[in-house]
Structure 1
């Protein structure tokens, strides 16, 4: 059996030191000689590589925070623009009028219970004469020419002699007037019965009578 040579008492080394163990290497960094345990650690064999310098994450965190804020602001702007665009009323749209005296209005699905009027024209500024026989609503600095968005069976607020009061859709259980017929043209005498009232617009006539079946 071959044993590793004895260490030089004056510090001299033999064999492959430093950098490894000689024959008889112990798995935990030493060797045995005879019956007496003798341990010797090779210089540098147990040294760990220096830890990498800690990275400064402050810039990364700030960058991520700024990115999140920009993303949120961008989303908010997109939402505001989407809401504004969705509430813009143009010719051909239908709308719900908040009050019989006109003014504020919101986009509504044509033919739905929420829709009171169809917009047939939009003009900048106040232009009462430009709407002809159609009703007029002023809102957002524009003039909206509007006609009732109704069909037979829909109910309306009571007829008013005051032309500044606009009829609106109403639940039939609370109404007095009910639409009986909607026709094109402007000949109410030919379209409506003698005991019926009517609303005449540039392109349609709406006949109405008392609410039935409620």
Structure 2
């Protein structure tokens, strides 16, 4: 019986090592670590460096950010309103909002919490997305005709302006 126990323990050990290896490969390949421009992400907390952003389908409600630019070797994001994630190996992701006209976001003014799409009537809503203009990063011109606009978020790459206002509470 001792021989069978040794064999079973060995098989279980090999299986566990295999699962750990697969989890690590999945983490490295499927995580934001390898995200490219156009990939969408969910970040729960910007301050928690242990938490890795999750790559999601851009249509997922939790995917509130999109990679605008990926830089290697410690480059700087273009001048704009990007959120940034820098990795130890030198890669940097320049992130823009992944929103549609009519979306509202909570945690927009939080220095640490990730953005959350909420109903515009939700008391947690900070901003309402009024207009999205692609092909320009001139926020003043793009948002000039939007009533009640607070301002525009400017992203040079890809050239996009997101015009935002205070959400309606009624």
Same fold (TM over 0.5): yes
Establish whether residue 88 from structure 1 lines up as the match of residue 42 from structure 2. no
- Equivalent position SS for 1:127: coil
TM-score of the aligned structures, taking structure 2 as reference length: 0.70
TM-score of the aligned structures, taking structure 1 as reference length: 0.58
Contact 1:126/1:143 (8 A) holds in 2? yes
Contact 2:107/2:116 (8 A) holds in 1? no
Establish whether residue 198 from structure 1 lines up as the match of residue 152 from structure 2. yes
How far does residue 118 in structure 1 lie from its aligned partner after superposition?
Answer: 0.6
5+ residue gaps, structure 2, are none
Larger radius of gyration: 1
- Of residues 65, 68, 71, the one that matches 1:117 is 65
- Of residues 137, 141, 146, the one that matches 1:186 is 137
1:72: which partner in 2? 16
- Of residues 48, 54, 58, the one that matches 1:106 is 54
2:115: which partner in 1? 168
- Higher normalized contact order (CA 8 Å, seq sep 6+, divided by chain length): 2
State how 1:54-69 maps to structure 2 within 5 Å: 58-69=2-13
Contact 2:129/2:163 (8 A) holds in 1? yes
Distance 1:63 1:156, change over 3 A: closer
Q: Output the CA distance in 2 between the equivalents of 1:151 and 1:78.
A: 36
How far does residue 61 in structure 1 lie from its aligned partner after superposition?
Answer: 4.4
How far does residue 94 in structure 1 lie from its aligned partner after superposition?
Answer: 1.1
Contact 1:102/1:138 (8 A) holds in 2? no
1:209: which partner in 2? 165
- Equivalent position SS for 1:131: coil
Question: What is the number of equivalent residue pairs in this alignment?
Answer: 154
Q: Output the CA distance in 2 between the equivalents of 1:63 and 1:178.
A: 61
Q: Deviations over 1:12-65 (max 9, x none)?
A: xxxxxxxxxxxxxxxxxxxxxxxxxxxxxxxxxxxxxxxxxxxxx644543343
Q: Output the CA distance in 2 between the equivalents of 1:87 and 1:186.
A: 29
Aligned Cα root-mean-square deviation (Å): 3.2
More strand by share: 2
Q: Output the CA distance in 1 between the equivalents of 2:23 and 2:3.
A: 30
1:33: which partner in 2? none
How far does residue 115 in structure 1 lie from its aligned partner after superposition?
Answer: 1.6
How far does residue 83 in structure 1 lie from its aligned partner after superposition?
Answer: 3.5
